Amino acid sequence: MSEQASRALKGRALNRVGSFQLAGEAQGSALVLSQALSFWGGLDIETGDIIDRSHPGLGQNVAAKILVMASGRGSSSSSSVLAEAIRRGTAPAGIILQRPDPILAVGAIVAEFLYDVSMPLVVCDISGIVSGDRIAIGLGEDAQAIVSRIQPAIGPAAPRRQ
Amino acid sequence: MTLELMAGDQSMLQGEHGPAVAAAMKILVAFSKAVGARKLLDIAGAHIDGCLYHGQAGFDFVERLVEGGGSVRVPTTLNVGSFDLIHPGLVKMPAAEEVPARRLMKAHLELGCQATFTCAPYQTRFRPAFGEQIAWGESNAIVFANSVIGARTNRYGDFIDLCCAMTGRAPAWGLHLSENRRGQILFELTGSFEPTDALFVGVGLIIGQASRDRIPVISGLPQPRDEDQLKALGAAAATTGAVALFHAVGITPEAKTLDEAFRGKAPEETIRISRADIDHALARLSSVPDGAPLVAVSLGTPHFSHHEWMRLLPMLRHIAPGRGIPIYVNTGRATLTRLKDEGELESVKAFNLIPVTDTCTYVTTIIERLDGVVMTNSGKWAHYAPGNIGVSVAFGEMEDCIRSAAVGHVVRGAP
């Protein structure tokens, strides 16, 4: 790796401590949403596609991603939708929020109880995470959540090796 | 922040009351930690919004609790399902959907819930008292319990309402705690208003939209004729927004004065509501103009109270609609039983009145003709029905609905 590339990558290093609403480990490509998504009415549980026509993420797919957004939104029926998406394997691998959300927490907790599938839900600072970053959620000391970037998004911000 | 559990909580968690209660407590504990509660508190009752089929996960959850041999530990009412069990044949549903829909309702009964199947549990003998801690689902019931009665619940729903019922406990956070019930945003009605049903719907629509996550306080609202007008206000506010508690100065029990509503602090924001604002909000509920031909009338969202029936029945006898336009009235089964016992329904049989219990005309397939305009006096029904069942809607006062049924097209502003 060139010195320049190494510096650029270091400049975007990310290793952050957060708290768990539901503990677990996950890895995946980040999908950062600029607006909160209501899972009820906003997500196609058969595919994981975002179907809310008023949402800027319309058409993107959340399955197996690390979904990153400021907060949850909307009706308590979103708990059922998230639990159902986890059961079907169309849910994100993990969700990172800036502010805690009781409704998403319920969906994740119940899905883990029913189907033994863990989908960690983390609250931490989400600034600096961009879509396409490869993100790992891990368990830290004192039940803290560790969010780290293991590979930056491929794009102008991450210079390719010559 | 740690969650402190009492000995009773621990014993439930450890399975001393069976696997179903242990599972409910395990989920409740995880949820309480997730919302940052420091302890659990006792609840006096619960209302479960779990009888509408939203997918396999909801179904699996209830079945798992039934298998675990559990039952609810506090008096627990049930919200509507997708089926009218009292009037078989009214709901038209493919057999493949009917089986899980019926099973979901029955499974909740096996857990010891009461067969109320109403979105208005506050009209039943399970109505909570002022200050009581409860765990309720169903948005209109939540806002009514908190605001009109002064009972205390958060916006529970999906799974957690049932976990609270199975354990008799709820996390001590949010609206369960006095310090979180203070008004935050003031809505001031400017001008003088008659207490029409439509006024309360209009105010509800406006505060729902503008309050976001703040608790609204309304001043200048005329004294309501009855609590049904506050029911309509709350239901509308919980439709256009996420309002779980409103204070109406001089009307609701935690707002005898403006100062009490705000606990002596200043509002974060003040919004004035004029007659034009109300008219504008109400106009948006109707997608058709006056004169549009009607296919049906739907009343009773939230469920029609006995008092509302007592207003409707003389209207029906007086106006005598006879054009074959069905008038559906969603109501609780206990209310309907009382009316039948009182012999009140005999005299209105000729007027195409179709009582619907256990469910609601906008969550399932009841209305025969969906290819036209349905008129309603409910802000909540007018908001959701076009998306849910694909009808066009005209909103109007109850009397306008009945007059429209009599002439076969939308008329408003009845004398």
Q: Is the ipTM of this complex over 0.85?
A: no
Residue A64 lies in a domain: yes
Question: Is B268 in the same domain as B148?
Answer: no
Question: What CATH number should be reported for the domain holding residue B395?
Answer: 3.30.499.10
Domain final position from B178, B193, B227: B178
Would you state the pLDDT for residue B413?
Answer: 84
Average pLDDT over chain A, rounded to an integer: 88
Enumerate residues 6+ apart whose C-beta is below 8 A from B93. Answer: B82, B83, B101, B364, B365
Containing domain of residue B373, as a range? 294-407
Counting as low any pLDDT under 50, the low residues of chain B are none
Give the gap in angstroms from C-alpha B54 to the nearest C-alpha of chain A.
Answer: 7
A window 39-68, beta carbon within 8 A of B: 45
CB atoms within 10 A of CB B324: 8
Q: What is the pLDDT of residues B187-237, one digit of tens each?
A: 999 999 999 999 999 999 999 999 988 999 999 999 999 999 999 999 999
Q: Give start and end residues of each alpha helix (H) in B84-196.
A: 95-110, 139-144, 160-167
Q: What is the pLDDT of residues B227-246, one digit of tens each?
A: 999 999 999 999 888 899 99
Q: CB distance from A123 to chain B under 8 Å?
A: no
Give the gap in angstroms from C-alpha A88 to the nearest C-alpha of chain B.
Answer: 10
Q: Whose CA is closest to A126, among A37, A32, A63?
A: A32
**Distance between CA atoms of A97 and B256, rounded to whole angstroms?**
39
Length of chain B: 415
Domain final position from B263, B283, B303: B283
Of A19, A75, A79, A127, which one is the catalytic site residue?
A: A75
Length of chain A: 162
**Distance between CA atoms of B37 and B306, rounded to whole angstroms?**
39
**Distance between CA atoms of B22 and B221, rounded to whole angstroms?**
47
The token pair that represents A51 in the structure block? 């179907």
Enumerate residues 6+ apart whose C-beta is below 8 A from B177. Answer: none
Amino acid at residue number B377: N
The answer to whether A75 is a known catalytic residue is yes
Question: Is B334 in the same domain as B365?
Answer: yes
Containing domain of residue A113, as a range? 3-151
Residue A157 lies in a domain: no
Would you state the pLDDT for residue A155?
Answer: 63
User: Do the chains contact at B35 and A83, CB–CB below 8 Å?
Assistant: no
Q: If pLDDT is split at 50, 70 and 90, which confidence band does A9 have? A: low
Question: Is B161 in the same domain as B245?
Answer: no
Q: What domain count does chain A have?
A: 1
Q: What is the pLDDT of residues A77-101, one digit of tens each?
A: 889 999 999 999 999 999 999 999 8
Would you state the pLDDT for residue B364?
Answer: 85
Domain final position from B262, B283, B304: B283
Question: What CATH number should be reported for the domain holding residue A10?
Answer: 3.50.30.10
Residue B393 lies in a domain: yes
**Distance between CA atoms of B125 and B116, rounded to whole angstroms?**
10
Radius of gyration of chain A (CA): 16
Angle between helix B379-389 and B227-240 (nearest 10): 40
Question: Is B169 in the same domain as B142?
Answer: yes
Residue A100 in 3-state DSSP? coil
Would you state the pLDDT for residue B414?
Answer: 57
Cβ atoms A55, A44 nearer than 8 A: no
Question: Is B310 in the same domain as B380?
Answer: yes
Q: CB distance from A21 to chain B under 8 Å?
A: yes
- For chain B, report the end-to-end CA distance as a whole number of angstroms: 61
Burial (CB < 10 A; 0-12, 13-18, 19+), residue A25, is middle
Q: What domain count does chain B have?
A: 3
Give the gap in angstroms from C-alpha B138 to the nearest C-alpha of chain A.
Answer: 9
Nearest to B31 among A84, A86, A109 (CB): A109
